[in-house]
Structure formats: structure tokens, C-alpha cells
Amino acid sequence: EVIKDIIDQAKSADRTYLMEHESKAILEELGISTTGSVVARTEEEAVEIFKSLASPVALKVLSPDVVHKSDAGGVKLHLNEENDVRRAYRDIVSSFQGKPVEGISVQKMAPTGIEAIVGVANDPTFGPVLMFGLGGVFVEVLKDVSFRSIPITRSDAQEMIEEIRGYSLLKGSRGHSADIEALKDLLMRISDFVNLEPRIWEMDLNPVFLYPHGCTVVDARIILG
Ligand code: ADP
Ligand code: MG
């Protein structure tokens, strides 16, 4: 099974941090939509993947030593031309020289959506806890997040969403600007997964883009216990 293989492989390499491509492969297995993450190991591979995706792409460094990829130039966005992809590939490789780089992730650019975050943390008292909030200034400055102990019910998921101060932003002015049912599906799937897989210690889906129809995970990392 895909999920077990990814976790076992990391464990046997003595890694507790699952890189973006590994974390997203697990999410896809759970039926969660992501922007994907195909791994290129050469510049030519990156170009081939770019052509096969037939879309503007993002390139990102994949390294067991790099948690915040956009620090130090590990994320390149809005690449529309083959030459942009080549330059971005080379720039990332040269920025991370001397670090163990697993490869470079090539993925579709997601259309702009409302930025949200979904997290799992481990609380000494409550055990695994699910967190939801809106991204950027909402979480960093306003600390506008909601928490529930895992496992959650579907009505817990609804409450978590309604409880944040930014909820009006999700409702929009005319009907829904974010697909609340799709967001509840995502929260439930993460909760159910963590409930059954005790080796998951932390998860950080940041950002998740919310759309009027559906939502997609743009970046993910998982920490094993
Ligand atoms: P970091 O490890 O620094 O958190 P991210 O993968 O989250 O790296 O990328 C940084 C930012 O770049 C994201 O918060 C998002 O705004 C943007 N971004 C990354 N990947 C994509 C993508 N595939 N489509 C659209 N925007 C993206
Ligand atoms: Mg991120």
C-alpha cells in the first residue's frame, strides 16, 4: 500500500519529516485533491514534466533538510515557458548546493483561491488535535484558528469552520465563496486518517486554496512520531 510504503521508507532512513511529494502522495491516496508533485531529478526531466502538465508550473526544492522551502529561494512560481523552467531548475539547484536535495518538485500552478490552513498537532493532554484557520495574516497576526480533538464528527467540522472570525469571508457576499462541504470532507478525511494511523505526529497543510467548487492542497508536510 502506498501510504505504508512511504512511512516505512522514511522510518528506515531514520527520517521523521515527510517531504512535500511524499505528504501529497498520502493525501491523494486519502482522496484529497492536491496540486500534485512530480519529482524531477534532471533539468530535462523538469522540462518533460512541464510539457506533460500543459499548464503554468511551480518548481520547489525537495530536501529532508529543508522545511521552509520558500526561504533561500526554494520555490519558483508562475513558470510559463520552457526557458523559465530551465532557469528555475538551475537556480534552485545552485541555491541548495551542499544540501541533500532529493529532487525538484514540478507541479501545476493552482488558480488563486481563499488561503486556508489545516493542521494536526499533538497535545500532551488531548492527544492529536485538528486545527483550521485562514492563511496569511489571519493565522499569523490574528491567531484566528479553531481546534478540536481528533476524531471529529461532521458537525464538529462545521463548527470549526463557523467558529473562526473570518467565517464571513468564506460565506462571501452572495452565497458561498468557499465550498464548505468540500472543506468539511477534507477535515473529516484528515481526522479519520490520523485516528487510524498513530504514526502521524503532525501535519501542516499550508496553504489549502478554497474555491466556490472544491479545494486543493498546495503545500503539505507530515511529521512522524
Ligand atoms: P513553503 O515550504 O515555503 O511553505 P510552499 O510550497 O507553501 O512553500 O510555497 C510558498 C507559497 O507559494 C505558497 O504559500 C503559495 O502561496 C505559493 N505556491 C506554492 N505552490 C503553488 C502552486 N502549485 N500553485 C499556486 N501557488 C503556489
Ligand atoms: Mg507552505
Going from the Cα of 207 to the center of ligand 2, the distance in angstroms, rounded, reads 6
Q: Is the pLDDT of residue 175 over 70?
A: no
User: Do 36-109 and 114-224 have matching folds?
Assistant: no
Rounded mean pLDDT, 143-147: 92
Q: Is the pLDDT of residue 185 over 70?
A: yes
CA 196 from centroid of its chain's CA atoms = 20
For domain 36-109, say whether CATH 3.30.1490.20 is its number: yes
Going from the Cα of 179 to the center of ligand 2, the distance in angstroms, rounded, reads 21
- 55 close to ligand 1 (CB < 6 Angstrom): no
* Domain 114-224: CATH architecture, name and number where available: 2-Layer Sandwich (3.30)
Confidence of residue 2 (pLDDT cuts 50, 70, 90): very high
Going from the Cα of 64 to the center of ligand 2, the distance in angstroms, rounded, reads 15
Cell numbers placing 189: 478525511
CA angle 159, 160, 166 (to 5 degrees): 105
Which ligand is nearest to the Cα of residue 206, counting in written order?
A: 2
Taking CA atoms only, the protein residue closest to ligand 1 atom 22 is 109
Q: Is the pLDDT of residue 113 over 80?
A: yes
- 117 close to ligand 1 (CB < 6 Angstrom): no
Domain residue extents for the chain: 36-109, 114-224
Going from the Cα of 59 to the center of ligand 1, the distance in angstroms, rounded, reads 9
DSSP-derived 3-state class of residue 225:
coil
Phi and psi angles of residue 124, each rounded to the nearest 5 degrees, phi first: -60, -30
Confidence of residue 138 (pLDDT cuts 50, 70, 90): confident
CA 203 from centroid of its chain's CA atoms = 9
Alpha-carbon span 64 to 10, nearest angstrom: 10
Which ligand is nearest to the Cα of residue 57, counting in written order?
A: 1
- 33 close to ligand 1 (CB < 6 Angstrom): no
CA angle 113, 158, 173 (to 5 degrees): 45
- 35 close to ligand 1 (CB < 6 Angstrom): yes
Which ligand is nearest to the Cα of residue 135, counting in written order?
A: 1
Per-residue pLDDT tens digits for 19-64: 999 999 999 999 999 999 999 999 999 999 999 999 999 999 999 9
- 220 close to ligand 1 (CB < 6 Angstrom): no
How far is CA 202 from each of CA 20, 53, 155, 199, 221, rounded to the nearest angstrom? 14, 31, 23, 9, 8
- 37 close to ligand 1 (CB < 6 Angstrom): no
CA angle 84, 88, 92 (to 5 degrees): 175
Atom of ligand 1 nearest to the CA of 69: 2
pTM of this prediction exceeds 0.90:
yes
Alpha-carbon span 110 to 215, nearest angstrom: 10
Query: Can you give the pLDDT at residue 174?
Result: 66
